[in-house]
Amino acid sequence: MNTREKMICPDCGVEMNHHADKIDYSEALEEAGEADPAFGGVVEEAHTCPSCGRTHTRPADYYPKS
């Protein structure tokens, strides 16, 4: 269960829907230390706005860095 605050669409101001988590391997290569050790890449949450349909992402915080 994701207990984080809902993303708000920067264009419409409405709550977005979290529908996917996607591993971004390239970002991990570019930013050393950012990769989630469980997945080998940076896990990004994908959220889509039900009003305008735009998708925005944010890093998933499965394992907060120490």
Which residues of this protein are in contact with other proteins, per CB under 8 A? 1-2, 17-22, 24, 26, 44, 46, 48-50, 53-57
**Residue 56 to residue 37: CA distance in whole angstroms:** 24
* Torsion angles phi and psi, residue 18, rounded to 5: -85, 110
Supply the minimum distance, in Å, between the C-beta of residue 33 and other proteins: 19
Rg (CA), the chain: 13
Measured from the CB atom, the residue of 59 and 63 that comes closer to other proteins is 59
β pairing state of 42-48 and 55-59: antiparallel
Residue 57 CB, shortest distance to other proteins, in Å, is 5
* Least spacing, CB of residue 47 vs other proteins, in Å: 9
